[in-house]
Amino acid sequence: MTNYVFRPVRETDLEGLLELVNSVPDNLATVPKDKERLAEKIDASLRSFFPRINNPGAEHYFFVMEERNSGRILGVSGLFARVGGFDPFYTYEILTERLTHAPMGIDKSIQVLSLKTDHKGPSEIGSLLLHPECQGKGLGRLLSLSRFLFMGRFPQRFDPQVVAELRGFLDKEGSSPFWECVGRPFFEVDFYQADMQCGMGDKDFIHDLMPRNPLYVPLLTPQAREVIGKVHSRSLPAKKILEQEGFTGTNEIDIFDAGPLIRADIEDIRTIRERKTATISGLVSEWEEGSEWIISNRSLDFRSCFGTFKEEPDGSITLSEMLAFLLRVAPGDSIDYVRTRPV
């Protein structure tokens, strides 16, 4: 498992990224199957790693998971320092409205979807994509949790709260029942076109076309009502990981596919709360495989791997030469480490 390295994206990764996104059947709005737009994402990420950033802004940190032996890009994940700002962050907030009429003996509560616009929102995790041949091997945890080690090392770059929009339910044809009912009548485009446009930061059409008035849930089609807050089957493993990390549900959903929005305080995220720091006192030539720990350097040229180590009596650690090479660390440097799974 030490064969895989999590690191920031580089310009030279473009072809590998294109190969990765074309290996999956689905379209992910924030990782498009478009070479020019992928290049734009790489450029934006490179700018985000500017050293003198002390407050969250429009930074978008984009990471890849590289296989050491082949150099192939087999996964990606991302961090948005802050949602909102110049591009508002839109969600539907699920509210409850009480309706009463004593003469008819009516006293009932009805769910209402109210469009919420956030101009200075929390940080967001997203853009997680894993090559089909790597699924079921635990590598999704490296892609997901390594982001939190980066956030814990550089907390000044992020908001105290973190959200994740989980992908909503799609039918066998890849269509969103919620979009067909709520979105298509106003936007007159299919789900993927709207989702892709929004995912690339072009949100003006939402402001111009989205209905301003609240939507009463009982007036929606049964198919649309049924999928509100329902997660896409392929997002269930990611949901489980994030719940183990301390993310909990909210009363907000995605405006396109009605997928749930989950949230956590950055200081309460398990990986950040339980991570430890140690100094490397020595290296050994023996290389042991292991996935019990995720180990990272503490540099903006961030790198993390699954790995093992030996804790010395003085609290320092000994790493393998191979792991040190992958993390770009040496004796005297410090590393962060955390258990891959909750104990």
List active site positions: 232
In 102-203 the beta strands, taken as DSSP E runs, fall at 106-120, 123-130, 161-165
Q: Residue 307: in which H helix or E strand, if any? A: strand 304-307
Neighbours of 236 (CB within 10 A): 12
Judged by DSSP in three states, 251 sits in: strand
Strands, E assignment, the chain: 4-8, 60-67, 73-80, 84-101, 106-120, 123-130, 161-165, 215-216, 248-253, 260-265, 276-284, 293-296, 304-307, 310-311, 317-320, 334-339
Q: How far is CA 341 from the centre of its chain?
A: 18
Q: Please state, in angstroms and rounded to a whole number, the distance separating the CA atoms of residues 308 and 294.
A: 8
Report residue 162 as tokens.
């973190």
Q: Residue 295: which of 323, 332, 333 has the closest Cα? A: 323
State how far the Cα of 308 lies from the Cα of 2, in Å rounded to an integer.
9
Dist CA 233 CA 237 (whole Å): 8
